[in-house]
């Protein structure tokens, strides 16, 4: 039935069976049953097309969001059409462009490699787990899987990819190292010439034209929605401290830009401090402690682009015995635990490490000849403490359902089902 998703015209049964590699006796009997059950219908001279029953597959929930108990939220009774306009959600044009079907199609099982930029923090380790989970989910389709880590060295990553190409590859998943000199260009060009599907994951190579599809998540959403939440929590007026991630990284810049634009839109939300952490709890703790020690007036809210440093910020307020203001920032199990323990108003948008498994699916879809968007964004759910919702920012999931009390603080929750494997790894 999936043979009709690109071309809905009637197809000759014998052609269909040949393409699918099904022998004639089995194939004709299966087609007969599918016709009798309404999934296919016969048209003239041995042709079939999708039947009326196939239409029943249309109905599809894209996610299962948390049900809001509106009665518990003071003032939250209406939705304004301007809520989304305020967020000004941007739609990257590449989300709506697809790779030409069958460009990379070939028979499986396939050889896939993952060229990983680094394993330098908890999130990157979660990403690796997620890729491995994706491969295990499709183990019958993936004949050979190989992974290399470049430790943020572009020359090393280029050499690793070259070696993997020499051994023969069908698809390359690459999370690119910072590469200001363009060391990756030549080897990615070589991969393209060999018709290898190149799926960039989380970090895109400098030359965008060299990749087939980019799997990522929206930093604009992470920065903008969390700033919108703070602005509405403060009724459009108050002091905010901003704790960004690594200063040189592009996600940090995109999240901060979106947040600053949102705070600016409210006019009287004042950013009284903006510091850069290295996405660790220790750096969050040190920087917030330093601000407190310097006598900076305590903020009404703290915007963190991740809970990786957000946890340290909360701990710094606790250590200084100050009232802890509302915080943003997710990712880290410890952040959710502490926010729930303290009943802290908290809004988090996890940067989904589960995009690793998604990248594997995208690579396999390309090799199966399916139409794949040029850019694939993993959903970024809004995770909130109960009662913290505002007019424009609503929970996709409540923190109490997301937190894992049974797992260590350092676990990154957004790796999805790969968490099971990481649990095993931690136990070992």
Per CB under 8 A, contacts with another protein among 13-32 are: 29-30, 32
Only one residue has tokens 């787990």, namely 129
- Contact with another protein (CB under 8 A) among 57, 105, 186, 322: 57
Nearer to another protein, 287 or 393 (CB): 393
* 118 touches 152 (CB < 8 A): yes
- Contact with another protein (CB under 8 A) among 58, 166, 323, 427: 58
Torsion from C-alpha of 190, 194, 200, 206, nearest 10 degrees? 20
What's the 3-state SS for 286-344?
HHHHHHHHCCCCCCCEEEECCHHHHHHHHHHHHHCCCCCCCEECCCEHHHHHHHHHCCC
CA distance 26 to 74: 63
Specify the stretch interacting with another protein by CB under 8 A; choose among 3-11, 111-119, 287-295, 317-325. Answer: 3-11
Q: Decide if residue 342 touches another protein (CB under 8 A).
A: no
**Least distance (Å) between residue 320 CB and another protein:** 35
- Contact with another protein (CB under 8 A) among 21, 23, 44, 62: 62
* Residue among 42, 59, 60 at smallest CA distance from 51: 42
Nearer to another protein, 140 or 297 (CB): 140
Q: Decide if residue 387 touches another protein (CB under 8 A).
A: no
CA distance 149 to 117: 6
**Least distance (Å) between residue 267 CB and another protein:** 22
**Least distance (Å) between residue 61 CB and another protein:** 6
Q: Decide if residue 406 touches another protein (CB under 8 A).
A: no
Q: Decide if residue 162 touches another protein (CB under 8 A).
A: no
* Residue among 324, 347, 357 at smallest CA distance from 396: 347
Q: Would you state the structure tokens that stand for residue 376, as one six-digit string? A: 């694939």
Near another protein in 188-247, by CB under 8 A: 212, 221
Which residues, 6+ apart, have CB-to-CB distance to 342 below 8 Å? 314, 318, 324
- Contact with another protein (CB under 8 A) among 118, 216, 252, 414: 414
* Residue among 333, 354, 339, 344 at smallest CA distance from 402: 333
CA distance 68 to 73: 9
**Least distance (Å) between residue 91 CB and another protein:** 5
**Least distance (Å) between residue 52 CB and another protein:** 7
* Residue among 306, 176, 155 at smallest CA distance from 243: 306
Number of residues counted as binding another protein (CB under 8 A): 81
Near another protein in 273-332, by CB under 8 A: none
**Least distance (Å) between residue 185 CB and another protein:** 18
Q: Decide if residue 74 touches another protein (CB under 8 A).
A: no
Would you give the distance in Å from CA 408 to the centre of its chain?
Answer: 22
Q: Decide if residue 76 touches another protein (CB under 8 A).
A: yes
Q: Is 372 helix (H, G, I), strand (E, B) or coil?
A: strand
**Least distance (Å) between residue 79 CB and another protein:** 5
Nearer to another protein, 178 or 369 (CB): 369
How would you label 271-298 residue by residue, b for 16+ Cβ within 10 Å and e otherwise? bebebbbebbbebbbbbbbebeeeeeeb
Nearer to another protein, 298 or 379 (CB): 379
**Least distance (Å) between residue 400 CB and another protein:** 13
- Contact with another protein (CB under 8 A) among 308, 354, 363, 411: 354
Residue 403 CB coordination number (10 Å):
20
- Contact with another protein (CB under 8 A) among 14, 103, 250, 282: 103
The site map against another protein for 111-150 (x = CB under 8 A) is --------------------------xx-xx---------
What are the angstrom distances between the C-alpha of 206 and each of 140, 175, 203, 253, 360? 33, 11, 9, 16, 21
**Least distance (Å) between residue 289 CB and another protein:** 34
């Amino acid at each position: 039935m999936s043979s009709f998703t690109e071309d809905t015209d009637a197809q000759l049964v014998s052609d269909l069976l040949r393409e699918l590699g099904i022998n004639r006796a089995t194939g004709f009997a299966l087609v007969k049953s599918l016709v009798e059950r309404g999934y296919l219908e016969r048209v003239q001279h041995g042709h079939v097309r999708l039947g009326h029953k196939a239409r029943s597959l249309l109905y599809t929930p894209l996610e299962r969001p948390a049900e809001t108990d509106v009665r518990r939220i003071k003032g939250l009774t209406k939705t304004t059409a301007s809520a989304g306009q305020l967020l000004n959600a941007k739609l990257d044009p590449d989300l709506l462009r697809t790779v030409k079907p069958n460009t990379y199609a070939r028979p499986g099982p396939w050889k896939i490699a993952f060229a990983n930029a680094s394993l330098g923090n908890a999130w990157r380790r979660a990403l690796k787990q997620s890729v491995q989970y994706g491969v295990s989910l499709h183990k019958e389709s993936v004949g050979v899987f190989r992974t290399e880590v470049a430790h943020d060295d572009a020359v090393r990553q280029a050499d690793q990819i070259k070696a993997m190409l020499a051994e023969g590859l069908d698809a390359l998943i690459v999370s690119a190292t910072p590469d200001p000199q363009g060391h990756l260009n030549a080897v990615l060009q070589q991969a393209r010439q060999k018709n290898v599907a190149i799926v960039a994951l989380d970090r895109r190579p400098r030359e965008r034209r060299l990749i087939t599809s980019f799997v990522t998540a929206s930093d604009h959403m992470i920065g903008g929605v969390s700033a919108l939440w703070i602005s509405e929590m403060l009724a459009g007026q108050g002091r905010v401290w901003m704790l960004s991630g690594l200063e040189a990284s592009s996600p940090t810049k995109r999240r901060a830009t979106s947040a600053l634009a949102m705070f600016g839109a409210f006019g009287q939300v004042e950013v009284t401090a903006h510091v850069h952490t290295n996405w660790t709890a220790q750096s969050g703790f040190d920087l917030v402690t330093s601000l407190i020690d310097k006598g900076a007036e305590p903020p009404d809210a703290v915007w963190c682009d991740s809970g990786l440093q957000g946890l340290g910020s909360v701990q710094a307020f606790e250590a200084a015995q100050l009232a802890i203001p509302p915080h943003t920032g997710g990712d880290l199990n410890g952040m959710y635990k502490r926010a729930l323990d303290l009943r802290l108003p908290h809004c988090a948008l996890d940067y989904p490490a589960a995009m690793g498994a998604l990248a594997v699916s995208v690579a396999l879809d390309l090799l199966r000849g399916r139409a794949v968007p040029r850019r694939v964004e993993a959903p970024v759910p809004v995770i909130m403490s109960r009662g913290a919702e505002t007019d424009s920012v609503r929970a996709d999931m409540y923190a109490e359902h997301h937190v894992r009390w049974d797992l260590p603080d350092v676990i990154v929750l957004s790796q999805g089902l790969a968490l099971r494997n990481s649990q095993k790894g931690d136990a070992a």
